[in-house]
Structure 1
Amino acid sequence: MKYIFALAAALSFSSLAVAQDAPVIKARTMVKTADGVRIGFIDRVYANAEGTATSVQIIYRGRFVSIPAATLSSGEKGLVTSLTADDLKKL
């Protein structure tokens, strides 16, 4: 019985740790590529029914581009996407 309790506690703590590592995604946040190239500021955040961000809209090179939220992580000053500049050109 104590093994089940220990497993349940471990799972709840790991879920809490993952939730704390999630980036804060909000409008007017700077987004850069992994190599430090500035993409732009978030114009709009799109979310699902639960309120979790699914994608963000950025004006990149004079056009609106939607970047999947799953590619974003916290950076030193803003957010960092795992997409490259070439990937952004294809969006």
Structure 2
Amino acid sequence: MHSINICIEAFGAIEKQLPQGLTFECEFNATVAEVLNMIVQTYPQVEAMLERCACAIGEDIISRQQHLTQNSTVVLLSPVAGG
């Protein structure tokens, strides 16, 4: 089984809690949820924020159950409040 590299880009409130250029190496076919768990293991302070974030690849919102089969950039989108 080979591994893939997943870059993390964060926007909104969570952006301030994670370093830029964050990358994780994970197993081929890992789920987005597994990558998010890796983030929480490294940065436990973001766990509550991650639970509320939407995830995207490119311009497409993706499910946390989606399998990752190639090097990708997963975008974390914090919820936005406003009126």
Give TM-score, length-normalised by structure 2.
0.31
The structure that has the greater radius of gyration is: 1
**Structure ranking higher on relative contact order (CA contacts 8 Å, 6+ apart):** 2
